[in-house]
A and B are shown apart, each in its own frame.
Chain A
């Protein structure tokens, strides 16, 4: 009996470790930040709090952020929703290929999209920023909307069609996929309003307005040159209600996603004939992929060939020089990024599996806890982590230099990306038949063996998808790389700086290599083991 208790305890250990990680790297830092800014010796009084909302700069930043979020999400809905509808429901030429490619723009860091836009068009002001963030975050809508459309039972649609006619049936269909569509829009909104790197990048190119994440970071960087404590804290304090709103939105997105029934094996929706619009309709998915992937890659290729320097025409000779410079100056950064992304993705899936199992089977509310970091703008999460581990009363015990270390950066990245892996896996856990797991309870083997063979092995395809997703997101992360000292040397961070100093040539090479790595990682197993690429989306 004692042995059994011990093995039971051991089988729970991964879950407790994952919860401990969440507590140390998400909950405690955020609580400490909130505590310090609200209740500490230098904390804000209620009067100071209310005074904050009279601050015109903050009000302007909040309004600009919300407008940016709204505009970018509307574009994401148009592009992502349109792409999903055309490739899933219609006889669009090449729809089978274009469908899985809907996720492709997620591979391209938004900063690269911004670079591409800024290089070809005048990227000043609100609308260019909204357009490129809308393009960069459209994959969330595209993937979830396509999934919603695939989950609708075609027979039910046909029943609606026979009873109420085409227009009503389409309205019924829209209502059926509304949870997935809304969840995709909320994620796009969340990522847009939390983004710091892209609006900050466009500032250099002549932007005259600022978002909230920029405000937080702006105050934070002034710390080094001695601004008053209250000034430093004001955007962080005012970020708390903002954060609460984002948390509510995230919760709503998760609930909506969970409310969408998993209908199992269903009859596919009948294909809609586009008739004379069949070929012209290709413009939308192609335009979406062109803006999200083609345009940044085109600009990067131009940079490699020497478009940024005006002295000589573009040439392959110049490209060779660019590659040489990249190897000399940027290769260590790229390797640093790749190793960091590999470590982060490994750590994330190790933590996400027990969390997903628990939330998928027993504590559905754990989804919200695991998803919390997604609601926190990366820049704020980074600041909270630095403050907690640098001078926090509890976490400082990790050591003076821990917050400068590579391990700290890996943990911070893992905290940031844990939600995506945990939610992906939890959704897969819910899809596995419960009875099959119950059948495992009769097997006369130790719990660890049963857990490995019956709980983890069936999850492997989803674990792989989660690993790839985390790897790609870690590779393209800019906001955390800006704040964390150990992540300053990542390729994306270096690129964002390098282009400001006319190093577009070798920056382009590094960026292309980075994209190649991000594409090859899911592609190689697909080629080797015949896995369907669509399973990643």
Chain B
């Protein structure tokens, strides 16, 4: 049976680092990815959810039960959840089958081998972690977490140590097993592709703060801040200066969007910039790389101190100067927006 997870006003204070306050909720059977760059607090948040670390304040509920608040701190094995560790965190002295039978009391060896077979590990039942490849070890870590039939599955960068060629197989396995059990999954990752492959909802963290949250599709189509666009969509975010005349960017001065008062950036998504050898009205940039695309070429350019990508009909010489221009209306977004906490009842 899957359970919901609700986090309300969670704060973690560490020397030199503050996480939160964070509030979000995952419904039973939901798939949430918590994303952000390294050091933004994703792993700390996951450890608090798992019960490995204590939060300084706030409430965590699993289903109807409070597992952590000012007075309660349920042990990890009392929260009804399991965690898939970054590098498997396998027990070096145990065989693959023993991992499963030890993790799930009452699970017979035959049942363990059957579960291993789901992950394509039946031939490795009697092998120890040192004899497994990185991908196999990660699959075993996943199966170990699923063996006791948890209500909630936490995943800490589950694809990080998996070979690029095995990633799809691992994603498929994870999605199949989680969907069969209708598991609530919460994933933490720094990798946009990993998040989009495994989750339907996203929480974006930056420097310990929640900057945006919502369905992955909405965040991809309409990012509310430049940081989300940069992180999820690979957008280039050029700095701007604001004056009475408007917002000055390398591509000209534009009117300030109504209601936006913060540090605005010109957000350029891949494909929204065009490069030409002939002089135009736009700024110039130095060609760094040229790669063939569907129609024409994709160029990586140095625009001042920033890296941008642009489309071009011809392959410009590397090192040459290109003239760039926007192909869409300029998109001015604040760099980071403090997300409004979701309405969550503690």
Q: A residues within 8 Å of B by Cβ?
A: 432-433, 435-436, 438-445, 453-454, 457-458, 460
Q: Determine if B85 and A439 form an interchain contact, defined as CB atoms under 8 angstroms apart.
A: yes
- What is the number of contacts between chain A and chain B, taking CB atoms within 8 Å? 55
Residues of B within 8 A of A458 (CB): 91-93
- CB pair A441–B90 under 8 Å, yes or no, is no
Structural contact, A454 and B52, CB atoms closer than 8 A: no
Q: A436-B90, A439-B89, A442-B77 are in contact. List 11 more A-B contacts (CB 8 A).
A: A432-B92, A436-B89, A436-B92, A439-B141, A441-B75, A442-B76, A442-B81, A443-B102, A444-B105, A445-B102, A457-B93
Distance A445 CA – B87 CA, assembled complex (angstroms): 23
**Chain A residues whose C-beta falls within 8 Å of the C-beta of B75 in the assembled complex:** 441
Q: Determine the distance from Cα of A443 to Cα of B148 in the docked complex, in whole angstroms.
A: 8
Of chain A, the residue at the smallest CB distance from B154 is: A442
Q: List 15 A-B contacts (CB under 8 A).
A: A433-B92, A435-B87, A438-B52, A438-B85, A440-B91, A441-B75, A442-B77, A442-B81, A442-B83, A442-B103, A442-B148, A443-B77, A443-B148, A445-B105, A453-B94
Within 8 A of A (CB), among B69-114: 75-77, 81-83, 85-87, 89-94, 102-105
Tell me the complex Cα distance, A436–B85, Å: 9
Contacts of B52 in A (CB 8 A): 438, 441
Say yes or no: B89 contacts A435, CB within 8 Å: yes
Could you tell me the distance between the alpha carbons of A435 and B92 in the complex, rounded to whole angstroms?
11
Contacts of A454 in B (CB 8 A): 91
- Does chain A have a CB within 8 A of B144? yes
B99 to chain A, nearest CB (A): 9
In the bound complex, residues from chain B placing their C-beta under 8 Å from that of A439 are 83, 85, 89-91, 141, 144
Interface of A is mostly: helix
Shortest beta-carbon distance from A450 to chain B in Å: 9
Q: How far is the CB of B155 from chain A (nearest CB, A)?
A: 13
Least Cβ–Cβ distance between A409 and chain B, in angstroms: 35
Whole-angstrom distance between the Cβ of A105 and the nearest chain B Cβ:
32
Contact (A438, B89) CB under 8 Å given A443-B103, A444-B104, A445-B102: yes
How far is it, in angstroms, between the C-alpha of A443 and the C-alpha of B79 when the chains are bound? 11
User: How near does chain B come to A428, taking the closest CB pair, in angstroms?
Assistant: 12
The 6 A-B residue pairs with the shortest CB-CB distance in the complex, in nearest-first order: A435-B89, A439-B89, A441-B76, A458-B93, A436-B89, A442-B76
Shortest CB-to-CB span from A325 to chain B, Å, is: 48
B77 contacts which chain A residues (CB < 8 A)?
A: 441-444
Q: Please, which residue of chain B has its CB at the minimum distance from the CB of A436?
A: B89
Chain B residue at minimal CB-CB distance from A443: B103
How near does chain A come to B190, taking the closest CB pair, in angstroms? 17
Q: Which of chain A's residues has its CB closest to B50's CB?
A: A442
Q: Pick from B103, B104, B141, B145 the residue with the most CB of A within 10 Å.
A: B103
Q: Is the CB of B102 within 8 A of A433?
A: no
A442 touching B82 in the complex, CB below 8 Å, given contacts A435-B87, A436-B90, A458-B91: yes
Residues in chain B near residue A432, CB distance under 8 A? 92
Chain A residues, Cβ within 8 Å of B104: 444
List residues of chain B with CB within 8 A of the CB of A460: 93
> Which of A435, A438, A440, A442 has most chain B Cβ within 10 Å?
A442
Measured in the bound complex, the distance between the Cα atoms of B105 and A442 in whole Å is 12
| Cβ distance B124 to chain A, nearest Cβ, rounded Å | 18
Kindly list chain B residues whose C-beta atoms are within 8 Å of the C-beta of A453: 94, 102
Q: Could you tell me the distance between the alpha carbons of A446 and B144 in the complex, rounded to whole angstroms?
A: 18
Chain A's nearest CB lies how many Å from the CB of B52? Answer: 6
* Complex alpha-carbon distance, A333 and B82, angstroms: 57
Quick check: B86 and A435 within 8 Å, CB to CB? yes
Contact residues in A for B145 (Cβ distance below 8 Å): 442
Contact partner, A435, options B85, B105, B148, Cβ 8 Å: B85
Complex: chain B residue closest to A458, CB-CB: B93
Note all chain A residues with C-beta closer than 8 A to B51: 441
Among B50, B51, B77, the one with the most A-chain Cβ atoms within 10 Å of its Cβ is B77
How far is the CB of B64 from the nearest CB of chain A, in Å?
Answer: 19
Q: When chains A and B are docked, how far (Å) is the Cα of A340 from the Cα of B77?
A: 43
Q: Which residue of A lies closest to B84 (CB)?
A: A439
Contacts of A435 in B (CB 8 A): 85-87, 89
B264 to chain A, nearest CB (A): 42
* List of B residues within 8 angstroms of A445 by Cβ: 102, 105
Q: Which of B277-292 contact A (CB under 8 A)?
A: none
Q: What's the nearest-Cβ distance from chain A to residue B303, in Å?
A: 35
Contacts of A444 in B (CB 8 A): 77, 104-105, 148
Residue of A nearest to B103 (CB): A443
Closest chain-A Cβ to B201's Cβ sits at a distance in Å of 24
| Chain A residues whose CB sits within 8 angstroms of the CB of B86 once the complex forms | 435
**B236-289 interface with A by 8 A CB criterion:** none
Within B18-58, the residues touching A (CB, 8 Å) are 50-52
Query: CA A8 – CA B82 in complex, angstroms?
Result: 21
Chain B proximity of A360: nearest CB distance (Å) = 16
Quick one: closest B residue to A440, CB to CB? B91
Q: A253 to nearest B CB, angstroms? A: 29
Chain A residue numbers with a CB within 8 Å of B91 are 436, 439-440, 454, 458
Give the chain A neighbours of B50 by CB distance below 8 A.
442
Q: In whole angstroms, what is the CA distance A433 to B93 when docked?
A: 12
CA–CA, A112 to B82, complex, Å? 58
Query: How far, in Å, is B62 (CB) from chain A's closest CB?
Result: 13
Tell me the bound Cα distance from A458 to B102 in angstroms.
15
Among residues of A, the one whose C-beta sits closest to the C-beta of B75 is A441
Query: B132-164: which residues lie under 8 A (CB-CB) from chain A?
Result: 141, 144-145, 148
Please, which residue of chain A has its CB at the minimum distance from the CB of B141?
Answer: A439
Cβ of A71 to closest chain B Cβ, rounded Å: 44
Q: Which residue of B lies closest to A8 (CB)?
A: B75
A211 to chain B, nearest CB (A): 46
Residues of chain A contacted by B90 (CB below 8 angstroms):
436, 439
**What's the Cα separation between A460 and B92 when bound, in Å?**
12
